[in-house]
A and B are shown apart, each in its own frame.
Chain A
Amino acid sequence: MDQTESYPVQLYIYDMSRGMARQLSPVMLGRQLDGIWHTAIVIHGKEFFFVGQGINNCPPGSTPLGQPGSVVDLGSTEVSAELFMEYLMSLAVSTYGRDTYNLFEHNCNTFSDEVAQFLTGKKIPSYITDLPSDVLSTPFGQILRPLLDSIVVNPGGSNITGQR
């Protein structure tokens, strides 16, 4: 374990509404939301994200969401690919397994945040992690909550555990 290789870590941010949130949110929600954010961590040449199926990975930018709207450089980590996969596997059996996805409380951004902290010690930008609470703070969001809660996002990629 004497390698001190360092791997760059990036955060891919996608707007799942493709700009519609920016336009419609003031009308619908009463507050400005610039996007419905989906994030993924890119490291070791792969993109990792948390979706309904569990933790998935894919080649960067190859989900149906296409290329990310923005990319944030989170720095670099010494965590090797192998170690990272071990870490993810444990996450996948503990807190980020299948069916643990919740659009508000435990979503892709939660995952990205946690992984980012694991890898680099940094959190992801707060506007992303604040999104659920932003939405819920609007009356409309409250009304829609039961519906939104049942939404499980599955934007592609494949489960890292090789099952499902």
Chain B
Amino acid sequence: MTRKLTPDPSCSIGGVKMADQGAADPGNNNNNKPEEAEGTIIKVTVKTPKDKEEIAIAEDASVTQFKEEISRRFKAKQDQLVLIFAGKILKDGDSLSQHGIKDGLTVHLVIKTAQKAGDGGSTSASSSTSTQAGNSPASSPGINPSSSAGSTGTDAPNTQTPNILTGFGDLAGLSGMGMGSANFMELQQQMQRQLMSNPEMLSQIMENPLVQNMMSNPDLMRQMIMANPQMQTLMERNPEISHMLNNPELMRQTMELARNPAMMQEMMRNQDRALSNLESIPGGYNALRRMYTDIQEPMFSAAREQFGNNPFSALGGNSESGAQPSRTENREPLPNPWGPQNSSNPSESGGATTGSTSTPGGTNPSVSNPLGINAGSLGNGMFNSPGMQSLMQQISENPQLMQNMLSAPYMRSMMQSLSQNPELASQVLMNNPLFAGNPQLQDQFRSQLPIFLQQMQNPEAMGVMTNPRAMQALMQIQQGLQTLQTEAPGLMPSLMTGGLPGGGPGGVPGGGPGGVPGGVPGGVPGGGLPTDNPASSPGGAGTNAAQQQLMQQMLQMFAGGGGGGGGGGGGLPQTPEVRFQSQLDQLSSMGFINPEANLQALIATGGDINAAIERLLGSQPS
């Protein structure tokens, strides 16, 4: 019985019976029934990711028949089977021999878990990954790509799948972060870079319901925040922060805020307004300033490491910006008295920052003129503080910081009010503890005030502040001055007058950002330089006991401030017991007699007595 081979795609060789029946007929010619001499049985290995089986099938069988056999053997539906051989997907209408499948060869099988093909498959895959992402802790950045996967996915399957893969890749990478593999820092940095370069991403992340879910769990957030070593150092330094973190209500509120950028801005504005009221009270200004330098600024820098600029730039830019202008603006006059000398100084300055030597000369006249000579020495001294240096470096590296700060509406309004009301300004500034111990300085400053305030309005000054190169130039000048200090101490005492008090507050915020490890390379050279300054300045200050005291205060602030004052405060890292000595005493006098428990509670709360007490009370049955 011979039949002509019909051009039927379901058979190519021989397949007489099949040709007879037209389309592939699963009922026939299958299951090792060699009805025809041509239909030899071949053994094909079918390999899945999990295992492999040898399937005997007729050589001339169609893919459909093959799949039938496979579905029987692997207990899966034919729809779920995807056969791949030599890079090709075997379609039902093909035949095995068409693909060259012969005896002993291996065909790969994937059993699809998704019931739908194409779109459905990819969306279910992406949603399952999203759930996985949601389940893995410490991976808020991990949510990012799932949001991008979620938000991209309504196109044709092909365009969709690359997005999902991106989702997989980034997502998995970022949740891989949590396990502390070697890639952790890299990935985190990458993510931060991405975040910082694309603020929209942040809002996207925040909008993702998974993120919101996670953020609504304050415990989780607290864990995450505490896990960051920078935050930990921060918390040790500032018990108030840990108290804040321990307060679930506050955390929840903060999370709400972070989630809703509009609400956050609103809140910031309210805060600004409230703070501006405070500012007008002489004592209040101090408190504000202290609050800023002690808490916000280090947090700001630490947070910058973790969250990117956005959430905290407003914080950094508002409220305590009042303190900032008095410091930053004071930097401006710096170059003036040393004008002719300054142009040679930068050439000697050991450049932690780069910059052309001509630039300082260029900026000198424009920056310093309005503020006059005496204020210049004032600014000089402040500039010399190591904290200032690191701050400067940070600023020069991140012009955005300055811009944010200067552009904060609060600040602008404050500066305006200051400039319009010199008395207010003088009052405010005089109460600044910077100047408290030093009447000379106060006088100097008072006289400079009007010009100084005008200067603040000067857009050119603004421009200088925001110009990273200008900042770098100023840094260089400062370094040059430091060298001068060591070389020509005779010259310095006149500087020290302005130097030490300026060094105080300058030290603390400098200590803050300088103290935060990692991420800010500026902090490291800034931290390195201080070793020179405290050493040399006591030499210069030897003539004045008051100055020495101030110096000591500064050193202590550095010690409290950590890394930025690492040189000065080098001897001061202490064990927790010593650090919390006074708190321990207080606790024991209150009746908490178990010193270990006390200590642990104190450590856990970062030295915050109230929180420690709560902890202790929570753990003790009575």
Please list the residues of chain A having a beta carbon within 8 angstroms of any beta carbon in chain B.
1-6, 9, 44-46, 53, 56-59, 64, 75-83, 85-88, 90-91, 93-95, 117-122, 154, 156-164
Contact = CB atoms under 8 A, between A and B. Distances in A.
Nearest to B92: A1
Interface in B45-66: 47-51
Interface residues of B, number: 51
A159 B86 CA distance: 27
Interface string B392-409: 000000000000000000
Given A57-B172, A162-B175, A83 B110 contact: yes
Nearest to B50: A94
B106 A117 contact: yes
25 contacts: A44-B162, A46-B169, A56-B172, A57-B165, A57-B169, A78-B87, A79-B84, A80-B158, A80-B161, A83-B82, A83-B110, A85-B125, A117-B108, A118-B108, A121-B85, A156-B182, A158-B169, A158-B170, A159-B172, A161-B172, A162-B132, A162-B136, A162-B172, A162-B175, A163-B132
Nearest to B124: A82
Interface string B193-230: 00000000000000000000000000000000000000
Contacts of B164: 81-82, 85
Contact of A46 (B87, B91, B165): B165
Nearest to A47: B169
A95 B91 contact: no
B49 A157 contact: no
Nearest to B113: A86
Contact of B49 (A5, A45, A90, A154): A90
Nearest to B169: A57
Nearest to A43: B165
A6 B168 CA distance: 21
A83 B83 CA distance: 11
A64 B172 CA distance: 17
Contacts of A80: 157-158, 161
A160 B165 CA distance: 9
A157 B184 CA distance: 10
Contacts of A161: 132, 172
A77 B88 contact: yes
Contact of A45 (B88, B89, B165): B165
Contact of A162 (B122, B133, B183, B186): B133
Nearest to B107: A121
Interface of B: 47-51, 82, 84-89, 91, 106, 108, 110-114, 117-118, 121-122, 125, 129, 132-133, 136, 142, 157-158, 161-162, 164-165, 168-176, 179, 181-183, 186-187
Nearest to A96: B49
Contact of B87 (A94, A121, A157, A164): A121
A43 to B, nearest CB: 10
B172 A44 contact: no
Contacts of A64: 182-183, 186
8 A-B pairs with least C-beta separation: A158-B173, A121-B86, A90-B49, A77-B87, A120-B87, A158-B172, A81-B161, A91-B49
B176 A44 contact: no
